[in-house]
Amino acid sequence: MPVSITREIRLDRRPVGRPQQDCFSLAEVTLAPPGPGEVEIRPILLSVDPYMRGRMDDRPSYVPPFALGAPIEGFGIAAVEAAGPDAGLAPGDLVTGMLRWRELDVLPARRLRRLERHGEPLEAHLGPLGMTGLTAYVGLTDVGGLRPGETVLVTGAAGAVGSVAGQIAKLAGCRVVGVAGGAQKVARLRELGFDQAVDYRAGDLPRALRQAAPDGVDLFFDNVGGDQLEAALSLMNVGGRVVLCGAIAQYNDEAPRPGPRNLALAIGRRLTLRGFIVGDYEARRPAFEAAMRRWLVEGRVQADSTIVEGFERLPEAFLGLFEGTNLGKMLVRVGPEPAGR
């Protein structure tokens, strides 16, 4: 078997503040054929996610930092092109897992999971049926203790996790308020069934939130942090829960910004604030998948995605997350989907 030549996107320097295009570079690499237990894969869709910003800094976290001069990696879906001995996968199989940003790659098969499709679009496996859907599901249920009849507030509500979280909360019989940036996203939230949608770019967020949730908030699913977290804390009802899922407003801060000035409210109002990482909840995947597949089939959850075309546009798509250019899940199509599947 001959060696293959492919392209990869590397992290060339660590960003200070908001990442720029010149943090990344495109390079050619040579791949050996797959050995025992390995497969050659051709990525089809690659996911860009806010948490990846953290891996660009050189500091300890729940995932190790990206190495400089090495390819970025993130979730993705690929087609198996060739399999070495004992790989347990065959050419044409669709797989998902942590993939390097390469147009072609050779990886141990055990790091990949064969993807089971039941007619849903491929991108659903990186959105509502993937990590972001599981994040919304366990964040609301396991972490947040969602109960019917509650008022639920979701920030980043037009994003990959937030839009699914809001729709699940509606299905659970809750009143749901979403916060997003811009009139288009706010309109989309209304279409998705959110009871109230607030545009944080329209100014005076605390006032707008008070009007949208006049009886306060029982469960707050926070994807944003910063000022939105502070504004929401003031609205929390006694016994309320704050699910700390993400803080995209803060990921590009060059220096740590002050936390919410009203955090001490948590004492008198008996609030629980809880951070979580979806990777801790792998055991919940079967229950989640069963529920989510049903909701998707019945059209009760709609999965928005923004698909950018072209491998070399991965950095652009990633940077767009911090400008909110995406509606729903932001993905990059880097290769063709195999026909007839």
- Least separation in angstroms between residue 100's CB and a second copy is 23
**Best CA proximity match to 269, nearest among 232, 226, 225, 221:** 232
| Residue from the set 260, 324, 328, 335 that interacts with a second copy by CB under 8 A | 260
For a second copy, what does the binding mask look like between residues 264 and 303, x meaning CB under 8 A?
xxxxxxxxxxxxxx--x-----------------------
For a second copy, what does the binding mask look like between residues 62 and 81, x meaning CB under 8 A?
x-------------------
Nearest residue (CB) to a second copy, 6 versus 228: 228
Using the rule CB under 8 A, is 61 a contact of a second copy? yes
Nearest residue (CB) to a second copy, 261 versus 294: 261
Nearest residue (CB) to a second copy, 214 versus 259: 259
For a second copy, what does the binding mask look like between residues 16 and 55, x meaning CB under 8 A?
--------------------------------------x-
- Least separation in angstroms between residue 262's CB and a second copy is 6
- Least separation in angstroms between residue 229's CB and a second copy is 8
Stretch that binds a second copy, among 70-78, 111-119, 254-262, 331-339 (CB under 8 A): 254-262
Type of residue found at 80: V
Residue with tokens 């869709």: 45
- Return the number of other C-beta atoms located less than 10 Å from residue 90's C-beta: 11
69 Cβ neighbours under 8 A, 6+ residues apart: 10, 11, 12
Are 226 and 246 a contacting pair, CB within 8 Å?
Answer: no
How far apart are alpha carbons 124 and 132 in whole angstroms?
10
Using the rule CB under 8 A, is 262 a contact of a second copy? yes
**Best CA proximity match to 90, nearest among 139, 34, 51:** 34
Nearest residue (CB) to a second copy, 242 versus 332: 242
Stretch that binds a second copy, among 104-112, 128-136, 259-267, 289-297 (CB under 8 A): 259-267
Angle between helices 160-171 and 131-138 (to 10 degrees): 50
- Return the number of other C-beta atoms located less than 10 Å from residue 124's C-beta: 21
How far apart are alpha carbons 211 and 247 in whole angstroms?
24
DSSP 296: H
| Residue from the set 238, 287, 290, 297 that interacts with a second copy by CB under 8 A | 238
Q: Is the Cα torsion angle 148, 284, 197, 260 positive or negative in sign?
A: positive
| Residue from the set 31, 171, 244, 291 that interacts with a second copy by CB under 8 A | 244
**Best CA proximity match to 240, nearest among 218, 265, 267, 214:** 218
Using the rule CB under 8 A, is 156 a contact of a second copy? no
- For 92, the token pair is 């044409």
How far apart are alpha carbons 148 and 132 in whole angstroms?
22
**Contact positions vs a second copy (CB under 8 A):** 54, 61-62, 225, 230, 238, 244-247, 250, 256-277, 280
